[in-house]
Structure 1
Amino acid sequence: MNRTDRLYALVEELRAAAPRPRSARALARHFEVSVRTIERDLAALQQSGLPIHAEPGRTGGYVLDRERTLPPLTITPAEATALAVALHALDGTPFAVDARSALHKVLAVMPERERRAAGELAERVRLLVPATRPAPPAGPVVPRALREALTAGRVLRLDYADAAGRRTARDVEPLGFLGGTEHWYLAGWCRLRNAPRGFRLDRVRAATALDERAPHRAVDLTALDTLGSDVVPLDAATVL
């Protein structure tokens, strides 16, 4: 069994045992590898976002939170391949990394036969791109705290650099993402300016999510066409 197949099988082994823990030693015997190899595999799964945690003690071990993971899916190989092709459209956006992570999670819970069939089908798919079409720009790196704060509705503290390189600390109530062919922005209510502002993601030097919940504000994101001198104004026609 290669490592990729073992990772998939390891997830299903933990799922079948949940909520009972499985020790690294027992998992190593089951997969006929060393304890160190299993520990590396578990660490890789945790880093990918799977909710696996360790329980201490003689009867402890590793546990997968079944409530936060998907059961085996009845998704077809063609459907899985369609997802992979569709995610190609997210290249150059802040969501490219999260999209790939989501696809890996879907594949991880597919039955092995369907997963192998999806891989074989994907190998026979080629996207034709005109030679004159420029490659999509690299997507901006979005700090995890920024994404999580937007989802949870938390106030953000940004270390932000304006067009001239001047850096300021901003407490921002996040509203959403705005993007186009050139730049992506975090739209939010800036407490320093007491007005809506768009912050270019490539100018965010650091982002920290505060404990404070952001109040609801009725702001039309498509109307943010005057964002102040510290950011490049957005054309509403390019808003996604």
Structure 2
Amino acid sequence: MANVVKSPASPLTTAEIAALALSLAHLGSGPQADAARHGLRHAFEHLELGDDVVATTLATLTAPLSAPVADRARTIASAITSRLVIRLHYRDATGRVSVRDVDPVTCMVHREHWYLVGMCRMRGAIRAFRFDRIIATEPTFVPARPHRPEGFLPFQGKRAA
């Protein structure tokens, strides 16, 4: 297979990187998934990864998810793409389980964890849900309210604009 050389273009946006990484994360393992992950790592080669947080996050972005988490990631990705509410069965850090309807906005990775970022209808606020704490996902046919990803600042307790 020949290498294709393109002229330098604008760097990938954060939204593009998140979409690519989420697509790769739920591919599982296999030659195509491995090649795709290698390509994503290659896309980051121009970045200076002196920061441990960035290096850890990059490793998480390019590692396959476990099969059960990958199945839930596919449902989440479909809900984001279809702009439909997703129902999550979620176990919080204390072990308490709740069922939440979420307007999904985007997914992100921070250090070694994947998160679904969206407007939690139960709380009426922006929330980041750790993938490994999502017990189950259910697609719905309820249209999600539009929310711009730029308005979401997870981990900072701010409400959407």
TM class by shorter chain equals 0.5 to 0.7
Indicate whether 1:223 and 2:153 are aligned.
yes
Q: Which of 80, 93, 98 is equivalent to 2:27? A: 98
Structure 1: gaps of 5 or more residues: 1-76, 81-92, 105-132, 229-240
Q: Which of 96, 114, 117 is equivalent to 1:184? A: 114
Q: What is the percent sequence identity of the aligned residues?
A: 32
- Following superposition of structure 1 onto structure 2, how do residues 72-221 of structure 1 map, counting pairs within 5 Å? 77-79=1-3, 94=22, 95-98=24-27, 103=32, 139=65, 141-142=69-70, 143=72, 144-220=74-150
Q: Distance in 2 between matches of 1:227 and 1:102?
A: 40
Instruction: Return closer, same or farther for 1:218/1:150 CA change in 2, 3 Å cut-off.
Output: closer
Where is the strand percentage greater, Structure 1 or Structure 2?
Answer: 2
Question: When the two structures are superposed, what TM-score results if normalisation uses the length of structure 1?
Answer: 0.40
* Aligned partners of 2:28 and 2:64 also within 8 Å: no
Which structure is richer in relative contact order (CA contacts within 8 A, separation 6 or more)? 2
Question: When the two structures are superposed, what TM-score results if normalisation uses the length of structure 2?
Answer: 0.57
Aligned residue-pair number: 113
CA displacement 1:104-147 (0-9 Å, x = unmatched): 7xxxxxxxxxxxxxxxxxxxxxxxxxxxx998666352313222
Between structure 1 and structure 2, the one with the greater Rg is: 1
Where is the helix percentage greater, Structure 1 or Structure 2?
Answer: 1
Residue identity matched to 1:139: L
RMSD, aligned CA: 3.4
Aligned twin of 2:48: none
Structure 2: gaps of 5 or more residues: 5-20, 34-54
